[in-house]
Amino acid sequence: MAAMPWITPEDLKKYTDIKAVKERDDEKLEVDIYRAEQKVISITNNRFDDDEKFKEIPKPVRTATLLIAEAYAKNATERAKEKRLKGETFDDYSYTAESGEINIEDLDIYGLLSDYITESGGDTLLRIRKL
């Protein structure tokens, strides 16, 4: 079984170009990494605990975990900042400030994880009756 965590805070800091993520505490990054691993497990329905198949985490899965953990860390730092102004108007001048949060759905991680998605093990029971 590939041991968790699949990546370390040092791996994440080495990968990212985002200053706020590089400066984030290791304890907080560990939480971001754990959340990212759980997201990958949820998407793939695969815990990667089969010793024969996964002696170590596959590179695409590790990459997806890095991307998601980076997004979680950046989003947390954005939320921790003071409230951002969405828009303001002064006489004939106006502006709009956008949030810098990353949408996880836009990361295109499904392409990385598609080879590792397994079927759920649950049975479905359907009862039909005549009305």
Distances (CA, A) of 124 to 25, 47, 120, 121, 127: 44, 22, 10, 10, 10
Q: Is 123 a residue whose pLDDT tops 80? A: no
Amino acid present at 88: E
Mean of the per-residue pLDDT values of the chain = 86
User: Residue 97: which pLDDT band, with cuts at 50, 70 and 90?
Assistant: low
User: Residue 73: which pLDDT band, with cuts at 50, 70 and 90?
Assistant: very high
Using the structure block, give the residue that is written with the tokens 């040092």.
10
The answer to whether 87 and 43 are in contact (CB under 8 A) is: no
Q: Is 82 a residue whose pLDDT tops 60? A: no
pLDDT of residue 23: 96
Q: Is 91 a residue whose pLDDT tops 60? A: yes
Q: 9-116 belongs to which homologous superfamily?
A: YqbG-like (1.10.3230.10)
pLDDT of residue 20: 93
Bridge partner residues of 90 (DSSP): 93
**At CB < 8 A and 24+ separation, what contacts does 21-29 make?**
21/70, 21/73, 21/74, 21/77, 24/73, 24/76, 24/77, 28/73, 28/76, 29/69, 29/73
- Helix pair 59-80, 26-44: axis angle to 10 deg: 130
Domain borders along the chain are 9-116
Q: Is 50 a residue whose pLDDT tops 80? A: yes
